[in-house]
Amino acid sequence: GEDVEQSLFLSVREGDSSVINCTYTDSSSTYLYWYKQEPGAGLQLLTYIFSNMDMKQDQRLTVLLNKKDKHLSLRIADTQTGDSAIYFCAEEGGGYQKVTFGTGTKLQVIP
Amino acid sequence: NAGVTQTPKFQVLKTGQSMTLQCAQDMNHEYMSWYRQDPGMGLRLIHYSVGAGITDQGEVPNGYNVSRSTTEDFPLRLLSAAPSQTSVYFCASSSTGRNTGELFFGEGSRLTVL
């Protein structure tokens, strides 16, 4: 079945860049996603990348996709304290609109 | 817009009790799903539905029932609660049209089974 893996924790200093990594298993995924979960809230879509793209940039966010290695990364430039949250990698695969989530990476931004 | 609404936000049950977590969406989304979130395990899919009258099992369906009588509502039933069902439950919905498949989540329901 599908499996999405992430490291559990990342700590960075305010102003530095954060890079959150993810590996996935379903090579037939159409979309790969990054969701953000703030404390006590549900998940919200942060950004996504279509499977035929290598990179997507959206303001401070850069998503890199290596399909050969099934590796997805999210880079946050100039990380701010408001970026502290749990970030989930997710892939759409394994059936109609079934989305599989990773374990989530908790990003701690140190002022 | 209300989006996806879940009730209750918090619930404490005793082992063996039953309850229903409610989920409603006002975006006319065809697809609805339930996930549970546990520390270190991310979100796991319990059940999902692609339209009224249609439901299917996800990764961890045991101990849970669902029904989809209307487009708007997708309740999750625990027939006989167990401590292993202590978790945070999220309902999510999505349009099945040609789009990015973005899931819209409720704020979650925190369930404790004693």
Nearest Cα to B105, choosing from B11, B18, B5, B28?
B5
**Range B63-70 contact pairs with CB under 8 angstroms and sequence separation of 24 or more:** B64/B34, B66/B34, B68/B32
Tens of each residue's pLDDT in chain B, 114 residues: 679 999 999 999 999 999 999 999 999 999 999 999 998 888 999 999 999 999 999 989 999 999 999 999 999 999 999 999 999 999 999 987 656 778 999 999 999 999
pLDDT band at A64 (very low <50, low <70, confident <90, very high): very high
The yes-or-no verdict on residue A96 having pLDDT over 60 is no
Residue A58 CA to residue B99 CA, distance in Å, equals 18
Question: What is the average per-residue pLDDT within A18-47?
Answer: 91
Condensed to tens digits (0 to 9), the pLDDT of residues B101-113 reads: 789 999 999 999 9
Q: Decide if B59 and A40 are in contact by the 8 Å CB cutoff.
A: no
Residue B46 CA to residue B65 CA, distance in Å, equals 9
Q: Decide if B103 and A43 are in contact by the 8 Å CB cutoff.
A: yes
Nearest residue, CB atoms, A43 vs list B41, B50, B105: B105
Q: Decide if A42 and B107 are in contact by the 8 Å CB cutoff.
A: yes
Query: What six digits make up the tokens of B69?
Result: 């009588």
> What does the mean pLDDT of chain A come to?
91
